Structure 1
Amino acid sequence: MFELPTNKEYVIAPLSLAILSTVLMLFNLGYYLDFDRTAIANGEVWRLLTGQFTHSNWYHLLLNILGIVFIWLLHAEYTTIKKYWVNVGLLGAFTGLMIWLFAPNIVVYTGLSGLLHGLIVWGALEDIKRKLTTGYLLLIGVWAKVLWEQYAGASADVAMLIDSRVAIEAHLFGAIGGVLLAIIYLFYKTKKPA
């Protein structure tokens, strides 16, 4: 039978991510924190990371919170509070930097979706490392979605719901970041003294 990962160690980090994003939305702090290409060019480099935690509207936030819950259900046992936030920070910074460098058409970006794609890919690779068939299915599913978006574009319905362009580039960059994160952990584990 399936048991929810309700251990405090597994709940605190994803819950705190959802709370952080909600507080930023509640106090309308996006003006100061959104990924804004002009502001970043003028020295506000923190926006490369902080834009990941702001949202265009409440529907956007709700969709991302559902993503947090989905990942928690699938892979909570793979992280500690510290590791979760390291993963979120690295994937968020990586996604923001890749948008800055390789998606000049994105002037303003908000939302967790890029780094959430990275967390899902990293978790799927952890499943595979543990010889779970579901990891392969999840990895194939995520990459099929990401590649389909690159070919066909984003869902117009989702864009209308979140009142913003769906940044499919961020999904791709996040997924790549998830692979790189898994490689970093593998390298770190092999270099760590026994």
Structure 2
Amino acid sequence: MFFRTESFQQFIRSYPIVTFLVGLHLFLWVMIDVLGLPFFWQLERIGVGSNQGIANGEYWRLVTPIFLHGGFTHALFNSFSLVLFGPALEQMLGRAKFITAYLGAGVIANLGTYVFGPDVYLHLGASGAIFGLFGIYLYMIYFRKDLIDQANAQVVLTIAVIGVIMTLARSNINIYGHMFGLLGGAVLAPILLQSARPYSPYRNAQPRRRLDDNEIGFDPNRWKNKKFSNKSFVPRLLWGALVVLILLGLVSRLL
């Protein structure tokens, strides 16, 4: 449920919403922190969560902070968490409900930050929305045991406890966002899970085509064709691009 076995190409095809969100995180990080383009600097300035801005009627700031991050490590950690815990819910809920869950929990997290946080408070990041996913899983554990087995429930409980402890122990973390995101996911869960089905790693798998008798034979060039085919080259190119982005982020933090 939480351990990915798909190839890069299979992951993109099976979980397009999670793929898009992770790609958006990394794209905005490159545009803002690596390339430093003025347009995206301005986009971050008007999109960051600001309690004072919301009080002045800038209500879009309840949504836009979900997609912005304070540096590469922040974006990478949230993206990694999304890759681990998002796919199962995207399959179980369906794309529309998954988007509703993710954005809904994120907005509740930012709304809680606005109501209970200091008047002058700035924040950004997808953590509230990701904690909302944990809130949905926690609801499953206690009220929809048919959707999650005991082993995966233990994984969720362990990660959730660690996440709460880290939230309370570390400085410079939006405690309101994390806690209200968790609560928001749990509140949305009974509505979104009404028609949900248990996760299956085989549900999105492409059926294998049965070979005709005429197709069965020895092709001396099959390894060459497989090695240099576009189907194998494109995923490797995408993984390579991701590795380059990670290296750029590490270098930027050392300078």
TM-score range, shorter-chain basis?
0.7 to 0.9
Aligned partner letter, 2:6: L
Please list the CA deviations of residues 32-82 of structure 1 after superposition, one character each: whole Å capped at 9, or x if unmatched.
101012221211111011111111112211111111111135544213222
Please list the CA deviations of residues 75-96 of structure 1 after superposition, one character each: whole Å capped at 9, or x if unmatched.
4421322222111121111111
Extract unaligned runs of 5+ from structure 2: 32-39, 196-255
Partner of 2:158: 141
Specify whether residues 8 and 153 from structure 1 end up closer, same or farther in structure 2 by C-alpha distance, changes over 3 A only.
closer
Partner of 2:117: 103
Q: Secondary structure at the match of 1:46?
A: helix
Partner of 1:119: 133
Partner of 1:47: 61
CA-based RMSD: 2.8
Please report the TM-score for the alignment, with normalisation by the length of structure 2.
Answer: 0.60
- Percent of pairs identical after alignment? 22
Extract unaligned runs of 5+ from structure 1: 157-164, 190-194
Q: Which whole-Å CA distance do the structure 2 matches of 1:129 and 1:183 have between them?
A: 13
Q: Which whole-Å CA distance do the structure 1 matches of 2:88 and 2:161 have between them?
A: 19
Is the CA contact 1:87–1:119 (under 8 Å) kept in the aligned structure 2? yes
Q: Which whole-Å CA distance do the structure 1 matches of 2:136 and 2:109 have between them?
A: 14
Q: Which whole-Å CA distance do the structure 2 matches of 1:50 and 1:2 have between them?
A: 29
Q: State the aligned residue count.
A: 178
The partner residue of 1:81 within 88, 91, 95 is: 95
Please list the CA deviations of residues 132-168 of structure 1 after superposition, one character each: whole Å capped at 9, or x if unmatched.
1134313422442244246x521x6xxxxxxxx2223
Is the CA contact 2:18–2:87 (under 8 Å) kept in the aligned structure 1? no
Is the CA contact 1:146–1:172 (under 8 Å) kept in the aligned structure 2? no
State the structure with more CA Rg.
2
Specify whether residues 143 and 123 from structure 1 end up closer, same or farther in structure 2 by C-alpha distance, changes over 3 A only.
closer
Q: Secondary structure at the match of 2:70?
A: coil
Aligned partner letter, 2:61: R
